Structures are given as C-alpha cells and as structure tokens.
Amino acid sequence: MNIKIVADSSSNILTFDGVSFASAPLKINAGDKEFVDDQNLDVRNMVDALEAHKGKSTTACPSVNDWMESFGNADIVYGVTITSALSGSYNSAQVAAEQYMQENPGKKVFIVDSLSTGPEMELIIEKFKELILKGLSFEEVKEKVTQYTKKTCLLFSLASLSNLAKNGRVHPALAAAVGLLGISVIGRADEEGKLDSMHKTRGEKRALSRLFACMNEMGFKGGKVRVSHCFNESMAKKLADAIRLIHPACDILINQTRGLCSFYAERNGILVGFEV
Ligand code: X90
C-alpha cells in the first residue's frame, strides 16, 4: 500500500523525510514574470523583483491538474490546503480528489482545509506522518487529523499588508495603517479561516511580546511551534528564545517562507503555527 502526503506550496514545505510527499505549487504573477512556487524558485530574487515591480501582481492556486500530478499513483493520499476562505486551492484539490478516485477505483483521497496556511499546515503535515507511521487506517487518520486541526492555531506579525490589500484579501483601510513608522500588525487566522487583525504595534520588541501574549491567550501550553519568516530569521529566533524561557523543552522549528507566503507576508513578516 503506497501512502502519500500532499500540500500546496503555502505550507513552505518542499520535501519531507520518512514518508512520500509532494507539494502542489501556487503561482505568483507580476507583469510579464511568473514565479512558480516550487523547488526551483529563488525566493530572495522573487522578493527583490516584487519590491521593484510597480504594477499589479497576483497569485493563483494550484490547478486540478497540479493536484492530480502531486497525487502520483498513490493508493492513499492525504492532503492539506491553504484556507478556503482566501484561496481556491481547497476547491481545486477536492475536484482533483473526486476525479482521481473515479479514475482509480479503490484509491482514497482525503483533503483537509487548514483554514490557515504556512506553519499551521506544517503541523498538520507532521500529524499525518505521525499517524501513518503508527499504522492507523484511512478512516482513523481522517478523524484524528480533523480533530487535530481544531487544536492548532496561526498567528502572524506583518510589517506590510500591501499585497494582501491589493489582492482583495484584507480591507485597504487596515493596510493603510500598517508599514508606516514601523507599525506592524499582529493577527491570526480566525475560526472561519479569515485574516483577523488583532493589534498594531511599533518595533520588533513590542511585536514579539504581543505575539507571545497572544499565543498564551489562545491557549498555548508549550506544545509544538513552527515559525516561518520572510527573511527575518533573527526575529523568529528571538520568539523561540522567549518561548523557551518559559517552556525549555518546547519543540520549535524555524524555516524560511517560500513563494506564496513570501508574497503575502512580505519582507520581515513572520508566521507562527502552534498547538493549543
Ligand atoms: O489562491 C491564491 O491565489 C492564494 C491566495 C492566498 C491569500 C492569503 C495568503 C496569506 C499568506 C499571510 C499572513 C497569514 C494570514 C492568515 C490568514 C488565514 C500569509
């Protein structure tokens, strides 16, 4: 029985050890340039090019075909997507799943809507792996992962909401107040999978203490933490240090955002996925 995990590229995960894995790429378009969010993308070069680009830029979710390709020929596929409240990725993955099961009787696909993105998806991918390696059945994995998504959260600190606003994902009035005079916005993925702005702060120090305070208010007790940053490793490390002061054994991993999250989180943005 060959089992595979798939995720769209907003998870920031390209390869995953110990289990068969594939990423379905989103795309970023700016003028005549198209950036495919796969292993060949030079993220630094993309972020520089986007900042220099003055015209419109947009994103596109993986097509049904992209999802089909990610499934390969697996007997069982477990997938996770970016929030369906802000992207068509989940819908497109569901259509692919139906088609795949119709064309391959006996094969099974389960796709979960993360109602989030980035490092919260990373936690879900890790949970799939853990349950697969435990030898749980398809039905058990479905059930347990659905439960697990209720116990994971996403917080972010963003220094600009410009690309989110330009693409109609947040209100322009909110975006206008962020980025000026070092103002960052701290927010979360809410229960409906929408972006919820919670606080505006000035300076990295205050942003960090707000982030940690929000984690605690949301029920963080020292569970797993995954941090993704857009060229801001130092802030990610400071957050990890602050968490470890209270929870010395906390399992924390830090990575760099890939294309999609870099586009929307923008330079210096950080995303924090954690268990509650
Ligand atoms: O289908 C597409 O074109 C993709 C659209 C994605 C839009 C939102 C991406 C957000 C990326 C920014 C901060 C985290 C927000 C979390 C809200 C649920 C990361």
Condensed to tens digits (0 to 9), the pLDDT of residues 18-40 reads: 999 999 999 999 999 999 999 99
Using the atom order of ligand 1, give the atom closest to the CA of residue 87: 1
Using the atom order of ligand 1, give the atom closest to the CA of residue 158: 13
DSSP 3-state of 265: helix
Closest CA to 199 of 184, 212, 189, 209: 184
Q: Are 165 and 263 in contact (CB under 8 A)?
A: no
8 forms beta bridges with 24
Closest C-alpha to ligand 1, atom 13: 265
pLDDT at 131: 98
What sign for the dihedral angle of Cα 30, 36, 40, 44?
positive
What gap in Å lies between CA 52 and CA 252, rounded to an integer? Answer: 34
What gap in Å lies between CA 18 and CA 201, rounded to an integer? Answer: 40
Q: Are 264 and 169 in contact (CB under 8 A)?
A: yes
CA-to-CA separations, 34 to 159, 256, 259, in angstroms, rounded: 24, 20, 11
Going from the Cα of 227 to the center of ligand 1, the distance in angstroms, rounded, reads: 16
Ligand 1 is surrounded, with C-beta below 6 A, by 26, 59-61, 82-83, 86-89, 116-117, 154, 156, 169, 189, 193, 195, 261, 264-265, 271
Closest C-alpha to ligand 1, atom 9: 264
Going from the Cα of 67 to the center of ligand 1, the distance in angstroms, rounded, reads: 18
Closest C-alpha to ligand 1, atom 14: 156
Q: What residues have CB less than 8 Å from 184, skipping those under 6 apart? A: 157, 158, 159, 178, 200, 201, 202, 207
> In testing the pocket of ligand 1, which one of 29, 36, 82, 162 has its CB within 8 Å of the most ligand atoms?
82
Going from the Cα of 6 to the center of ligand 1, the distance in angstroms, rounded, reads: 18
**What is the per-residue pLDDT across 39-73, written as a single tens digit (0 to 9) for each?**
999 999 999 999 999 889 999 999 999 999 999 99
What is the pLDDT confidence band of residue 182, given thresholds at 50, 70 and 90?
confident
pLDDT at 28: 98
